[in-house]
A and B are shown apart, each in its own frame.
Chain A
């Protein structure tokens, strides 16, 4: 047996031999952590196998409904050749490096960890095979792993559980071979999700459901003025509310500390707070728009440029110009923000529904002046993420209040808090121009984006995927004070609306079919073109439709995947009916087809909500909306049929949480045009927009 081991350039591997035959090889063994002494095989940070053959996969990303808690185990279990009925999962606590980057966003969990998790499973498989071969005194090459057992060509079998003790004594293998996808029995199957039964039986605990011993509740009254702050408060009535223990000022507002959520909410209602209205108190949606319009009149900072867009536009025989607008939108997760923090002497323990466990750890460490390793962050199930939980503001709240009161604290946000203190998807104002030559080919594209203070959020996805010889995308960033953040699909969520609708306008100006028009300029985007062709085929693009019914198409490359959609709508007497949305997606290798379908249904629902309902507005320096009566979101009644086609593809692995969102609004708007001749250039679509002038 060759005892050589590789130490990768990043990993520090420590071999410890333990009485009872257990071997722990890990990236770093934290001081004071107990080493399991009863024969657990733990060859890396990602899995443990015990003597009963139970395989626990440690998931280093946050489960927020996107299915990562099942997807990661599927990847490991496939290569491990585990018996799926013996596989379970465990959420990893935050750690600076043991689990790599733990930030859950950008549709990157499966795609960043696919190969790593396969290798982790294959490594354990080879160790188990080596252990069996050693026991049987045979060649490892005469053995294979299959459904939780190692099997020899002679028919001899040993269950994984019987091999872990011996396997744990063996060196880590190098160069493990990964399976041929044609041999997959777990991957590419719709394995039932681990989190489904607990969520159905209501045994699943969200952070908002948790309590810890001695815990108190706290709810913070925040300044309703964007950028404002408290200048004074009268807590006398609040303190008189039964159940209210204390009222203190923290950096984000006035915290009412109570022995129940309801008492904390009542305490806040009884507060009298004076507010400094801050620098944005005269701002409104109208003033923001006026500022954007003014900015759009001059050249912006160049984002992307090719050829001479201005000159080619001026000399183009056909010129099209339009203004497109998209609003600020809120995340509106069904579980409002919450967090539990217990600040102790020299340490802190946190339970957080976070998409950024390491960010939460860092936030607490900074506030408390503690080394990172003294901050424990337990990642809870998340009642809706969509990018909202990438921020650590609710962690900040909980840590500060816990520190102030000297007890564990659960911070509870009301729905109004959540609606008014979000990190919003930026609203943008877009001036867009296109030039066509005499044959109707696009020769010039000029898109000026005006948005609030986040270039990254505003400009993401602003480069069209089309071969247009002259192109200029420029931008103005204007200050608004409104808090901005990543909202599911980020930049593409508003830029794809502009691009895919305007390309459609150019197609119609060229008197060409919008599908063929795009197809003719996608030589540099073959993967996206194939997805678009597939969607068109599956939707029966081009067939004769009755009057008032139309099809619209949109194709968007984002987060490593190609997604194309055909929307079929009818517009009658100013009423829009969306009959169906047909989606084709190429995400390369895929893990769980049913989860992919679910993610696409989900993305389409959220996209349609943003196309037809969602809108955050500002008035007198305040966010106007407060609850689901004035911030309307999609309901079951609104939901059309969604057809999903997952393409078989040899392309590199892409994401799936977000890519199906950007094409939806433009596909629908393009379909509205086809059905009615009405061109939508502003979201959300209002009933008046659908009445012919």
Chain B
């Protein structure tokens, strides 16, 4: 067990965990932030995507020790702003079906739009291509990203 300190959604948090614990489980069960989801545990599907210092990172293959001292943003941090253009586009395009993968999709999309204000379909495929959705909402995800970009994008 170690004392590990990082910032989550702008708040400084200190947790007592085994440093090898995946950040995913620290977020979900130690901190009770269940928006970030477990689906594969091997970094293969993207459901666990968070931002660390602004970059999209798969929290299921990131240890708590690697996250030490960093600024982590989860879907809860994004969703504080209900008017966030990505969230609004996700709602207006009725993207989710079961909804389980969508926090990961939104986190990946938000990171993309921060770097690329007007992504092409090919840019979107590249960035989003390995965030899996069994319900097949891909066409709507792509459209929502275009809508969010057209609406002025993401800071």
Chain A residues at the B interface, C-beta cutoff of 8 Å: 64-67, 190, 192-193, 195-206, 208-209, 242, 260-262, 265, 332-336, 381-386, 414-415, 594-595, 598, 601-606, 609, 627-629, 633-637, 639, 641-642
Contacts and interface: CB of A to CB of B under 8 A. Distances in A.
Contact of B106 (A200, A261, A637): A200
B44 A594 contact: no
B100 A200 contact: no
Contacts of B72: none
B42 interface: yes
B44 A628 contact: yes
- The 10 A-B residue pairs with the shortest CB-CB distance in the complex, in nearest-first order: A605-B136, A199-B99, A65-B97, A383-B100, A202-B35, A65-B98, A209-B34, A199-B96, A636-B138, A628-B44
Interface in B62-117: 75-76, 79, 82, 87, 90-91, 94-103, 106
Contacts of A242: 1, 18
Contact of B132 (A198, A202, A628): A628
B135 A629 contact: no
A383 B132 CA distance: 13
B79 A202 contact: yes
B interface bracket (residues with beta carbon within 8 Å of A):
35 or more
Contact of A192 (B38, B44, B94, B124): B94
Nearest to B128: A636
Interface of B: 1, 18, 21-22, 25, 28-30, 34-35, 37-42, 44-45, 47, 75-76, 79, 82, 87, 90-91, 94-103, 106, 124-125, 128-142
Contact of B136 (A193, A381, A382, A602): A602
Contacts of B125: 636-637
A456 B123 CA distance: 45
B26 to A, nearest CB: 9
Given A65-B97, A193-B94, A335-B100, A628 B138 contact: no
A336 B97 contact: no
A604 B136 contact: yes
Helix, strand, loop or mixed for chain B's interface?
loop
A202 B96 contact: no
Given A262-B22, A636-B129, A199 B102 contact: yes
Given A200-B90, A202-B75, A602-B135, A636 B82 contact: no
A629 B45 CA distance: 9
A42 to B, nearest CB: 30
Nearest to B92: A192
Contacts of A642: 139
A686 to B, nearest CB: 21
A635 B142 CA distance: 12
A627 B98 CA distance: 20
B76 to A, nearest CB: 6
B138 A598 contact: no
Contact of B141 (A203, A383, A636): A636
Contacts of B76: 202
B63 to A, nearest CB: 11
Nearest to A67: B97
B136 to A, nearest CB: 2
A386 B136 CA distance: 12
Given A200-B79, A641-B139, 8 more contacts: A65-B97, A202-B34, A202-B35, A209-B28, A386-B134, A415-B39, A415-B40, A609-B136
Nearest to B97: A65
A346 to B, nearest CB: 31
A261 B98 contact: no
